[in-house]
Amino acid sequence: MPLDTQNAAAPEGAAHSPAGVRREPRETALRGMRGMIATRMRESLQASAQLTHHAGAELGALQALRRHCRAVGLPAPSVQDLLLRLVVQTLAEFPALNATLEDNRITEHLGVHLGLAVPLPDDLLVAPALFDAQAIALGALPEARRELVAQARAGRLGVRELTGATFTVSNLGRSRVHHFTPILNLPQVAILGIGGTQWRAVPDDEGGARLSEVIGLSLTFDHRAVNGAPAAAFLDRLGERIETLEPDAFDHELRQ
């Protein structure tokens, strides 16, 4: 059958919109903040030995805590803020992950300066620090997080906030992405990616199966500073905290 040359697609650069307006390829120079981000991403991969472990955790206990809070008249924290609080608590048990590596020297930090990946307009990204997150109660965490995000989006953060994190969390929980590979924010030695949820069949106590909502967790770490076993142990402990959380575990922090 002969080709219908009259309906053949136009070459790139000669396409027209439905309204008949000519569209040109979009070009964006890697300069300014976009260029700085690109350079740091490349340097991160070139200068470190990055490896990612993937795990999952059931969210039933977190959802039960939120229902309990509503039942007793306490503010129900979001899943995101609950996860951040549990991450901070778990880092206290794994100081090797709350660390930085510079000039061939590993520094384990006393405070958890939690970096939060914040998307900005024009596909830009920053990860400012929520300083001393271990001292922020769950009831105060949402406001502290929202204020940090608002300052980042308004361009009001200084060098200290933009470079002071000791461990970063990147959250894609609203997407279909269950696992991903976050890139280290050097000189930090670890970053946790929180993915979307999936409903899965998991074993029950009677030898059968039940449906459960499972969230994806992805830990990228610098193998120069952290080996695979302690990185896996961190994910195991975090998953255990998520799945065994008591409904009233944070009542005292939410009443403050």
Q: What are phi and psi of 240, to 5 degrees?
A: -65, -40
170 alpha-carbon distance from chain centroid: 2
Q: What amino acid is encoded at 18 in this protein? A: P
Give the DSSP letter of residue 12.
T
CB distance 130 to 117 below 8 Å: no
Question: What token pair was written down for 124?
Answer: 């830009």
Q: Which are the contacts of 104, defined by CB distance < 8 A and separation ≥ 6? A: none
Instruction: Write out the DSSP string of 186-223.
Output: TTBSEEEEEEEEEEEEEE-TTSSEEEEEEEEEEEEEET
58 alpha-carbon distance from chain centroid: 17
Q: Is 223 tagged catalytic? A: yes
Candidates 55, 94, 82, 62; CA nearest to 217 is: 55
Query: What is the Cβ-side half-sphere exposure of residue 36, based on CA atoms within 13 angstroms?
Result: 7
The catalytic position among 53, 179, 223, 252 is: 223
Which residue do the tokens 């909502």 mark? 213
Question: How many whole angstroms separate alpha carbon 106 and alpha carbon 98?
Answer: 10
Rg over CA atoms, the chain: 22
Give the 3-state secondary structure of residue 20.
coil
Active site residues: 223
